[in-house]
Amino acid sequence: MTAKALTIAGSDSGGGAGIQADLKTFSALGVYGASVVTALTAQNTQGVSGVLDVPPEFVAAQIDAVFSDIGFDAVKIGMLSQAPVIRAVAAGLDRWGAKKVVLDPVMVATSGDVLLAPEAIATLRDVLLPRALVVTPNLAEAAKLTETAPATSREAMVAQGRAILAMGARAVLVKGGHGEGNAAEDVLIAGDETQWFSAMRHPTRNTHGTGCTLSSAIAAGLALGLDLTQAARAAKAYLTAAIRTADRLGVGRGHGPVDHFHALWATRG
């Protein structure tokens, strides 16, 4: 049987993040992808110029349509900009018994544009976190979820991860890509165990969609039958390679996308 994954997220008209990045990642990793669009964004590599939220009842209709026919081995959740949409997604997950749920708490775009209404953060924390197999915040998102300052050390990353675990998630991957140092370090916390994943940084401004890509790669791994540790490790390796070759794409004049098809387009000059 074909492994299948669903992305529930916003659309990026520039193609580098959101459902576009998720579907590219699923395809690159051998997983069939479907989508539920939660918001439309007018954006490119230089920023977001507009956001149009999809009504929560239509988000629910999309969820019911794809689950009733296709069924999924894993679900990735990304941009949910408003509290009513968050509640609609949570209800849909419950209706269809979704188990392997990867929650990427998207709050701010790479360009700095805010994508989650501040009043919706509590809803995300209270309603969706307990339904996630793993939550994948970056340093800024982990700080907002825990109402603390952004972590600047390994110890602080672990402490924030454990605080998010206490909110109901079964596992947390705190991503250190926006931190300092020569290596980008992420920590996976599940129960009493912590595991670190490290990769050397590559100097490029083409990092649009890195968070979306990592979380969707984890969902793809879970859909293919990997356990969470294996899926996180494979996703880190996939994203690292996509960043290393991102400059070959030459897309846009700002923060360009990562190279989702680096392995498949390897013959490029």
Q: Give yes or no: 207 in active site.
A: yes
Q: Which of 14, 18, 161, 209 is catalytic?
A: 209
The conformation of residue 138, written as its DSSP 8-state character, comes to B
- The question of whether 45 is a catalytic residue gets the answer no
Q: Quick one: DSSP state of residue 34?
A: E
Give catalytic status of residue 210 as yes or no: yes
Residues with Cβ < 8 Å from 37, sequence gap 6 or more? 9, 10, 11, 19, 54, 59, 62
Specify the amino acid at residue 170: R
The residue annotated as part of the active site, out of 10, 161, 176, 211, is: 211
Q: Is 76 a catalytic residue?
A: no
**Active-site entry in 7, 110, 136, 207:** 207
Among the options 7, 123, 212, 221, which is catalytic? 212
Torsion of CA 257, 261, 267, 269, to 10 degrees: 0
The four Cα atoms 244, 183, 175, 215 give a dihedral, to 10 degrees, of 20
Report the half-sphere exposure of 103 (CA within 13 A, side-chain side): 31
Q: What is the DSSP letter of 200?
A: E
The phi and psi torsions of 221 (rounded to 5 degrees) equal -60, -40
CA–CA gap between residue 36 and residue 179 (Å, rounded): 31
Quick one: DSSP state of residue 114? B
24 is catalytic: no
- Set 7, 210, 213, 245: catalytic member: 210
Asked if 163 and 146 count as a contact pair (C-beta separation under 8 A), the reply is yes
C-alpha–C-alpha distance, residues 82 and 67, integer Å: 22
Instruction: Say whether 267 is catalytic.
Output: no
Token readout for 88 is 């609609």
Burial class (CB in 10 A: 0-12, 13-18, 19+), 227: exposed
Q: Which candidate in 24, 100, 144, 175 is catalytic? A: 175
Catalytic residues: 175, 207, 209-212
